Amino acid sequence: MGKNRGHGEGTIWQMPDGRWRGEVSVGWRHNEHGQSVWKRKTVSAKTRGEVADKLKKLLRDQQRGLNIDPNKQTVAEFLTAWLEDTVKPSVRPKTYRSYEQMVRCHLVKNLKPEEIEQKGLDNVSSLGALPLAKLTLQVVQRWLNDKLKAGNSPSLVSDLRTVLRAAMAYAVRDDLLPRNTAALARPPRVVRREVAPFNPEQAGSFLKAAVGHRLEALFTCALAVGLRSGEASALRWQEDVDLEAGQVTVHHTLQRQKGTGLALMPPKSEKGRRTIELPSVCVAILKRHRQNQVLERQLAGSRWQETGHVFVSTIGTPIDDRKVLREFDAIVKAAGLPKQRFHDLRHAAITLLGAQGVPLKVIAEIVGHSDIRLTQNVYQHVFQPAKREAADKMNDLLTEVTGKAGKNRFATGFATMVPLGKAN
């Protein structure tokens, strides 16, 4: 078992079974005899390189003042480092904000009492002060149960488990924990929200109410081709819109980043980058929208900030989800329609496309789903009328066939049931 050390690595050696192991000091401790001895943190992996990477990360964390001893490191310390070092560089800003909020308001709860009251949070103790090594299955399950009993929705409690499970997966990978107890904990049962998108009549009422609105083109295109709010807000005249060809190309989505404001981000998936053929009505409305934007630019004068975006504020700056949602809610209310999410316009688009017989694969490409199964699973209700029609057609066929053969089948069946020599 030969030991060898690289620069700034700690100690690394290969085990008899071929796996590699490494260790780094985590400080002094007292043994059972009261003597001070070095306490070491051990990691293992299949290759020397993987072990070296793990040790370097532990040493970096140690240099930053983090406690790398799982017996002393708290859940709060670990989650704070995990958010900054792992989550923030690898996910979209909107996703990071969601994770950070769940950690701050629930898992760690590092808020002042007045903030807790202001946000209407429960009184369940957080996991933050608990040593990471004490995060047992029993502790995690009881905490989830308590959050549910305190009145939090099953959806929120399920999301909290998801965040904790993701964080603990990294703790297991870095040998800070032996197993992921959050993955073993039972999540609450979440009832899927019933999607009730606009039917054709309601869609017509919505579009009529939107006529003349400065964002009429945005709402019409969202309903026609299922654009997400961020996708519509990210569209730019020069780069993404070709009115002569009747096409828009989704290259980005617009998201708000903490500290930097609105920024263009890549779509959620590669399928999100797509070119969409627009209905002629959408092309005409977009042309009118461009003319109106020229007038707005003239009215704004020196206050206008040219960004090249298709949908902007009255001074030319990009608009975000919150502004779009406020305007959308106002139109829905004015039309006397049931309250909807803006995202439900995507559902309505898929409903209307499906009702017109557009193939499922084509619908998935139009709305930018990464997997056709997502379209199929989430929007099963869209295709229910088609399934009913298919069943009715099969019923007609079977009725016709059985009607013709019914008489002969009855005679044959009667003959086979009568014993020989017993017929009158």
pTM over 0.75: no
From residue 232, alpha-carbon distances to 241, 345, 401 in Å are: 11, 12, 53
> Within a 10 A sphere around the Cβ of 57, how many other Cβ atoms?
14
Could you give the CA distance from residue 324 to residue 329 in angstroms, rounded to a whole number? 9
- Quote the Cα angle for 351-356-360, to 5°: 65
Give the position of tokens 């461009």: 290
Instruction: Please report which confidence band the pLDDT of residue 7 belongs to, taking 50, 70 and 90 as the band edges.
Output: very low
Q: Which helix (H) or strand (E) holds 26?
A: strand 20-30
Q: Among 50-59, 82-91, 142-151, which stretch is predicted with the lowest mean pLDDT?
A: 50-59
According to the model, what pLDDT value does residue 327 have? 95
pLDDT of residue 10: 64
Strand 20-30 to strand 3-4: parallel, antiparallel, or no bridges (unpaired)? Answer: unpaired
pLDDT at position 137 is 95
- The answer for 212, left when phi > 0, alpha when psi is -120 to 50, beta otherwise, is left
pLDDT tens sequence across 229-273? 999 999 999 999 999 999 999 999 998 877 778 888 888 788 889
Residue of 226, 272, 269, 270 whose CA lies nearest to 249: 272
Q: How far apart are CA 304 and CA 299, in angstroms?
A: 9
**CB 248 within 8 Å of CB 235:** yes
Beta carbons within 10 angstroms of residue 234's beta carbon: 26
pLDDT at 292 over 60: yes
Intra-chain end-to-end CA distance of the chain, in Å: 98
**What per-residue confidence (pLDDT) applies to 423?**
43
The token pair that represents 157 in the structure block: 């409690």
pLDDT in the model for residue 142: 96
* Site of tokens 């139109």: 331
H or E, element range at 21: strand 20-30
Q: Is 347 left (phi over 0), alpha (psi -120 to 50) or beta?
A: alpha
Is the pLDDT at 6 greater than 50, yes or no?
no
Higher pLDDT, 297 or 10: 297
pLDDT tens digits for 85-125?
899 988 888 889 899 999 999 999 988 888 888 888 999 99
